[in-house]
Structure 1
Amino acid sequence: MIDRYERNKDIVQEIVESTATHVGRIATIITTAVADVAREVGDIVTDGFEMRDAARKAKADDHREVVDAELVDAIDDADATETAIRAIETDRRDAPEEHDRA
């Protein structure tokens, strides 16, 4: 039969083990949360740097009168299309008519 001291020792041991397990889990939760918060704060700061750099580049481009590259490409494509259409129309005007050949 277990005496009173041994039983109390077992209860205290169980309480200490259980408490240590729970404290460990809580510490893991806190550690993970701190790491997640640090990551998010870092992402926010990085976004701020990127926005600041983009604003500086836009301001510099504005001073140099640089336009949007996609807009320039669209204008170039439109100019090339217009040139091709003119060439085809010129070829048709300069080509002899089919009924004139016969």
Structure 2
Amino acid sequence: MTNLSKAEIRKDQVQDSIEAATHAAGQVSHIVISAVGDVVKALGGFATDLFEIREAARRARVEHDLDED
């Protein structure tokens, strides 16, 4: 077993702390990016639903000889 100096121990502590922090930051950024993607998909699906509803309403008006707005 070798004796480590205080400086070596501090260096290892700082290195391990930085590695842990960057790993945590990477995990958080992945979560945030995934969440943003999910929100965009949900909003896109909602917009598609709105277009389909509008088109169905237009077809219903035409089918029942109602004036277009």
User: What is the correspondence of 1:25-44 to structure 2 with a 5 Å cutoff?
Assistant: 25-44=27-46
- Give the structure with the higher percent helix: 1
CA distance in 1, matches of 2:16, 2:55: 58
Deviation of 1:11 after TM superposition, in Å, equals 0.1
Candidates 45, 48, 53, aligned match of 2:47: 45
Deviation of 1:14 after TM superposition, in Å, equals 0.4
* Structure 1 stretches lacking a partner, 5+ long: 65-102
Identity of aligned residues (%): 34
* Structure 2 stretches lacking a partner, 5+ long: none
User: What is the correspondence of 1:13-92 to structure 2 with a 5 Å cutoff?
Assistant: 13-63=15-65
TM-score by length of 2: 0.90
TM-score by length of 1: 0.61
Question: RCO higher in 1 or 2 (8 Å CA, sep ≥ 6)?
Answer: 2
Bigger radius of gyration among the two: 1
Deviation of 1:47 after TM superposition, in Å, equals 0.1
Stretches of 4+ aligned residues off by more than 2 angstroms: none
